[in-house]
Amino acid sequence: MIREEAIKIPFQYAAGTAGSEFLINLRDHRQLTGSRCSDCERTLAPARAYCPDCGREGLHSVNIGPGAELVSWTIVPDKGVFALVRPDGADTAMLHKLLGPIDDPQPGIRLQVVFREERSGHINDIEGFAIVQENGE
Amino acid sequence: MRTIRIAGVGETGPVQQDRRSIPEMVLGAVDLALADAQIGHGEIDSVVTASVDLFDGLTASNIAVTEVVGAVMKPEARIAGDGLAATVHGACQIWAHAYDTVLVVAHAKTSMAANGKLTQWAMDPIHLQPLGVNFSAAAGLQANVLAQHDRHAEKRWARLSCERRAAGTSGMAKKLSQSEILASEITTSPLRNGMCAPLGDGACAVVLQAGSNAGGPVLSGVGHDLEAHGLGDRNLVHWAGLTRAFDRACRVANLPPADARFDLAEPSCFYPHEEELFLRATGIDGGTVISPDGGLMAGCVPVVAGMSRLVAAFKWLRQTGNAGKRALVHGHWGPAGQAQAVAIVDGGL
Ligand SMILES: [Zn+2]
C-alpha cells in the first residue's frame, strides 16, 4: 500500500543583516549591493555578513552593477535560463535569470539588471539580467 | 593507527521503485552486510547512518530506521549527506578507539517524490530557492563553464554516457547510442536526458571492523571537504574540494598525493562532466580501471551513491587476482559537488 501526502508548511526565513540590506536596496533604490572584504580585497556579490574565504565579519557594503558580465548559463525547459552573472564592481558572480530572447549567449557578454515595477524586498524584485544590444538599446 | 577491515557489505538496488517501506528496504541491506561479515546485531558497537529528511518526507529520518540498523540501546550518529561521508565518520570512530565494529548504512527512495523539486530546498532560502534553481540546474551551470571553450565536450560526454550505460547490469539505464544521447531532450543545457544518471531506490550497508588485512580489503585512508555554497564564489572549472579531500585521504594512507597509483577508481558521477572533474582533481590517468560496472551513470540512488561505489570497489578487490590492488572511491553531495568525500581501499592479502 502507498499513502499519498503533500507537505505544505508555511515558513519564515530570516534574510540576516547583509541579506536584508541587499533586499531593501532592491526594493527602495533599484540597487544591487555587494560586500567588500578588506582581508582578501574582494567584493562579493550578493552582499553577505562574512567572507566565505577568510571568515572575516563586518564587511562594508558597496554598490555594484547595474551592468554585469555573463559567466555561465543553463537553459531549463519550462523554467527559462538560469545564469551566473558578475555585476560590475564585484569579483564573484551571483545566480539569477537571463532574460530572452537569447540566440547564442557567450561568456563575457554585457548584461544589465532589470528590476520589476512592483517590488517587495525579495530576490524576484530583480526580473533578471538582459543582454545589452550592441547598438546601445 | 588501527587497521580497519571492511568485514562485510550489503546492497539493495538500485531499482526504479522499491515497493517496500524504508525500514524494510534498509533491513534488507543490513541483513546482507551482517551475513557477509558473519556477525550478528549484538556484535555491532556503533551505527552511522546517512539519509536526507526531505527525501524521506520525514523529519529526523534516522528515527524510522533505528530498529532495523540495530541501533536500539546503542550509539547512533546520522549524516545528512552522501553515505561515503558517513563511512568517513565510522572509520574515525574506530581510529579514535571509541568502538571496534561500526555499521554504516545509507538509504534513499527517489520514487517517493520529484527529486528536482526536493533539491531546490537544499539551496539558499533567500537568494536561490525562490528562483527555482536546484541541483540539476547547478550541474548545468558547471557543465556550461566546462563546455564554453571546448567544442567537443558534448560529443565526448555523450560517448562516455553511452559507455557507462552499456556497462550497467541493474536494468536502470536504457542502453542509448552516442547519437541518441545527443538527440535526447535538454534537461539543463548543455546536459541532456541521456547524460543524466537514472535515479532510483536503494539502501547500502557496510561493516567496518578493527582488525588486519588478512581478512580482505581494508580502508586505508579517508578525507572529506566542503566548498562555498554559492556557485559564483567558486571556480567551477575545478572540484577544489575534491583535491583537498583526496590529499587528506592520501596523507592518512601514507601515499604521496601527486604520485599515488590506483588500480581502480569508483567516482560518483551523476553526469559525464563530473567524471572529467574527478580525473582532473585526483590526477587519475589511463592506467586506472574506471567504473567497470558503469558507475552511477548506469543507475544511481542519491545519498547511497558514494557508498555504492565503496561496495563496488570492495567486490572488485575481492575478485580472484585483485588481492593486493588499490582502489579510490568517491562520493559528493550538494549543488555542483559542494561537498566531497574520498576513501582509499587496499585489497587484502
Ligand atoms: Zn575575504
Encode pLDDT of A58-112 as tens digits.
999 999 999 999 999 999 999 999 999 999 999 999 999 999 877 778 999 999 9
Instruction: Please determine, for residue B14, whether its predicted confidence score (pLDDT) is greater than 80.
Output: yes
Establish, for the pair of chains A and B, how many residue pairs have beta carbons separated by less than 8 Å: 92
pLDDT at A105: 87
Q: How far away, in angstroms, is B28 Cα from ligand 1 center?
A: 48
Same domain, B10 and B80: yes
Average pLDDT estimate for B314-333: 94
Which of A 21-60 lie inside 8 A of B, CB atoms?
Answer: 23, 44-46, 52-53
Same domain, B215 and B311: yes
Q: What are the residues whose beta carbon lies below 5 Å from ligand 1 (ion)?
A: A 37, 39-40, 51, 53-54
pLDDT at A135: 64
B119 is a domain residue: no
pLDDT at A133: 81
Q: How far away, in angstroms, is A88 Cα from ligand 1 center?
A: 18
| Residue of B125, B127, B188 with shortest CB distance to A46 | B127
Asked if ipTM goes beyond 0.90, one says: yes
SS3 call for B55: helix
B172 is a domain residue: yes
Average pLDDT estimate for B250-263: 95
CATH number of the domain at B319, please. 3.40.47.10
Same domain, B190 and B295: no
User: Per residue in B137-187, pLDDT tens?
Assistant: 999 999 999 999 899 999 999 999 999 999 999 999 999 999 999 999 999
Same domain, B187 and B216: no
Question: Looking at CA atoms only, how far is residue B275 from chain A in angstroms?
Answer: 19
Tell me how far the alpha carbon of residue A87 is from its chain's centroid.
8
- Concatenating the DSSP letter of every residue in B234-290 gives S-TTS-HHHHHHHHHHHHHTT--GGG---SEEE---SSHHHHHHHHHHHT--TTSEE
* Residue B142 touches partner A, C-beta closer than 8 Å: yes
The DSSP letter of residue B18 is -
Q: Does the distance separating the beta carbons of B188 and A97 come in below 8 Å?
A: no
B124 is a domain residue: no
Domain that holds residue A27: 16-131
pLDDT at B5: 95
Domain that holds residue B162: 134-195
- As a whole number of angstroms, the distance between CA B318 and CA B200 comes to 26
Same domain, B288 and B318: yes
Average pLDDT estimate for B293-300: 97
B225 is a domain residue: yes
User: Per residue in B57-101, pLDDT tens?
Assistant: 998 887 778 888 787 888 889 999 999 999 999 999 999 999 999
Same domain, B154 and B236: no
Average pLDDT estimate for B246-259: 96
Nearest residue to B20 (alpha-carbon basis) of B80, B68, B84, B79: B68
Q: B140 is written with which cell numbers?
A: 548545468
Specify the length of chain A in residues.
Answer: 137
Average pLDDT estimate for A28-32: 98
User: How many domains is chain B partitioned into structurally?
Assistant: 2
User: Per residue in B128-147, pLDDT tens?
Assistant: 999 999 999 999 999 999 99
Q: Does the distance separating the beta carbons of A79 and B189 come in below 8 Å?
A: no
Same domain, B99 and B141: no
Q: Does the distance separating the beta carbons of B128 and A95 come in below 8 Å?
A: yes
Same domain, B44 and B189: no
B61 is a domain residue: yes
Q: How far away, in angstroms, is B132 Cα from ligand 1 center?
A: 29
Instruction: Please determine, for residue B205, whether its predicted confidence score (pLDDT) is greater than 90.
Output: yes
Same domain, B253 and B324: yes
> How confident is the prediction for chain A on average, in pLDDT?
94
A53 is a domain residue: yes
Q: How far away, in angstroms, is B30 Cα from ligand 1 center?
A: 46
Same domain, B215 and B89: yes
| φ, ψ at B231 (rounded to 5°) | -65, -30
Q: What is the pTM assigned to this prediction?
A: 0.96
pLDDT category of residue B266 using cuts at 50, 70 and 90: very high
Q: Does the distance separating the beta carbons of B132 and A7 come in below 8 Å?
A: no
Instruction: Please determine, for residue A137, whether its predicted confidence score (pLDDT) is greater than 50.
Output: no
Same domain, B61 and B166: no
Q: Which residue among B151, B176, B195 closes a domain?
A: B195
Asked if residue B236 lies in contact with residue B145, where contact means CB atoms within 8 angstroms, the answer is yes
Q: A134 is written with which cell numbers?
A: 550592441
